[in-house]
Amino acid sequence: MPTAAPLPFDAYNTLSDEEAGARIVEARRRLGARAVILCHHYQRADIYRHADLTGDSLKLSRLAAQSDAEFIVFCGVHFMAEVADILSRPEQIAILPDLAAGCSMADMANLAKVERCWRELSTVLDPDERVTPVTYINSAADLKAFCGEHGGIVCTSSNAPKILDWAFARREKVLFFPDQHLGRWSGHLRGIPFEAMPVWNPDLPLGGLTPEQIERARIILWHGYCNVHQMFQPAQIDRFRAQYPEGKVISHPECRFEVCEKSDAVGSTETIIRVVKESPPGTRWLVGTELNLVERLAEEVKPEGKIVQFMAGTICMCSTMQRIDPQHLAWCLDNLAAGHIVNQIKVPEHEARLAKLALERMLTAS
């Protein structure tokens, strides 16, 4: 039976998942409404079952800010907890159970590289006059602040095309980071040809582009991508359609263009869940997104005779999201219940103000 006092940090690593789960339940009982546990759709099942709120990153942050909870425990990755801190009230405290839970795609664009890109663009044109920076919400707070400072904006996987409309209404070009695939698909939906969407490689002078390419560009795409969604291939869709001609395919827009193009529908995690759940009984789906979400969705719709298949032939989980395990969550909640705040995520005030400006532009535009 779990005790009230937290264990030494290293002792949690020796707990079984069941023992850690029991401590989570007990700590949550003691905390009551003082804490809210947020779980992203990609979370593992033994964490997801403890959630008070589930959803994508922006939805969760907004819901948490509307709650009365003192502690926002975000079972996700670092940038998600940052957004929760930025959007929550000053008295609320955002916590990430494991500080090592990051996002490899978000790490592909850091502030130093984006600022260097902006300086290099200025050798060809005036970016503050002609380029709107747009950052995917899957990015660090300092990049959201960069967009806030330079007249830019944040987007999500569901509103990116609409955000492009907002950006083009202000300036003729967009610098889109960190995910090139979301930017390319969103630009395609707005009728922008591939040749007007060159990729900026931050490891090459002038991003590997010529001044002429920059002048002709409508969207300059950052050389970034999601490791999970890179696993999905057009051939996997072709095999599915050959075997199940009546089947449907839905993919996340972080997938490569060729996968999105072959899909019957493309959308965010929330969209994928909604479309599959609203489909007729007996429908068969091939889904191109993270495995935990796909397996959970398959179980939820099975009673309706629906079959949901994972697109990749190999296991494809978000490894950094997997770092939030029962042991870390138990350690975090035990300490909160004992009056000790651990792993608080606090965005510096100046950075948070500018990042919130970019986020508020998005919320208004979308």
Residue 127 CA to residue 150 CA, distance in Å, equals 9
- Supply the range of the domain harboring residue 277: 229-310
Q: Is the residue at 306 inside a domain?
A: yes
Instruction: Tally the domains of the chain.
Output: 3
Q: Are residues 181 and 242 part of one domain?
A: no
Q: Are residues 97 and 37 part of one domain?
A: yes
- pLDDT of residue 204 exceeding 70, the answer is yes
Task: Give the model's pLDDT for residue 32.
Answer: 96
Residue 358 CA to residue 355 CA, distance in Å, equals 5
How confident is the model over 319-364, as pLDDT tens digits? 677 789 999 999 999 999 999 999 999 999 999 999 999 999 999 9
Task: Give the model's pLDDT for residue 21.
Answer: 96
Q: Is the residue at 57 inside a domain?
A: yes
Q: Is the residue at 362 inside a domain?
A: no
Percent of the chain with pLDDT over 70: 98
Specify whether the CB–CB gap between 338 and 27 falls below 8 A. no
Tell me how far CA of residue 69 lies from CA of 32, 38, 89, 94, 119, in angstroms.
9, 11, 10, 10, 43
Q: Are residues 285 and 211 part of one domain?
A: no
Residue 155 CA to residue 302 CA, distance in Å, equals 33
Residue type, 51: A
Q: Are residues 185 and 135 part of one domain?
A: yes
Q: Are residues 118 and 153 part of one domain?
A: yes
Confidence of residue 316 (pLDDT cuts 50, 70, 90): low
CATH number at residue 235: 3.40.50.10800
Q: Are residues 278 and 196 part of one domain?
A: no
Q: Are residues 141 and 61 part of one domain?
A: no
Specify whether the CB–CB gap between 152 and 128 falls below 8 A. no
- pLDDT of residue 108 exceeding 70, the answer is yes
Q: Is the residue at 116 inside a domain?
A: yes
Task: Give the model's pLDDT for residue 1.
Answer: 39
Task: Give the model's pLDDT for residue 42.
Answer: 86
Query: What is the rounded (10 degree) CA torsion for 207, 210, 211, 215?
Result: -90
How confident is the model over 4-15, as pLDDT tens digits? 689 998 999 999
Q: Is the residue at 352 inside a domain?
A: no
Specify whether the CB–CB gap between 109 and 224 falls below 8 A. yes
Residue 286 CA to residue 294 CA, distance in Å, equals 9
Sign of the torsion angle spanned by Cα atoms 157, 161, 167, 173: positive
0.85 cut: is pTM over it?
yes
Residue 254 CA to residue 226 CA, distance in Å, equals 7
- pLDDT of residue 189 exceeding 70, the answer is yes
Instruction: Over range 78-104, report the average pLDDT.
Output: 93
Residue 20 CA to residue 330 CA, distance in Å, equals 6
Instruction: Over range 240-257, report the average pLDDT.
Output: 98
- Token couple for 336: 């909160």
Length of the chain: 366
Domain boundary among 200, 226, 252: 226
- pLDDT of residue 79 exceeding 70, the answer is yes
Average pLDDT, the chain: 94
Q: Are residues 63 and 82 part of one domain?
A: yes
Q: Are residues 152 and 115 part of one domain?
A: yes
Q: Are residues 171 and 127 part of one domain?
A: yes
Report residue 266: phi and psi, to 5°: -130, 130
Q: Are residues 234 and 202 part of one domain?
A: no
Q: Would you call 57 exposed, middle or buried from its count of C-beta atoms within 10 A (0-12, 13-18, 19+)?
A: buried
Q: Is the residue at 361 inside a domain?
A: no
What is the full DSSP assignment across 147-189? Answer: HHHTT-EEE-TTTHHHHHHHHHTT-SEEEEES-HHHHHHHHHH
Sign of the torsion angle spanned by Cα atoms 230, 233, 237, 240: negative
Q: Are residues 278 and 193 part of one domain?
A: no
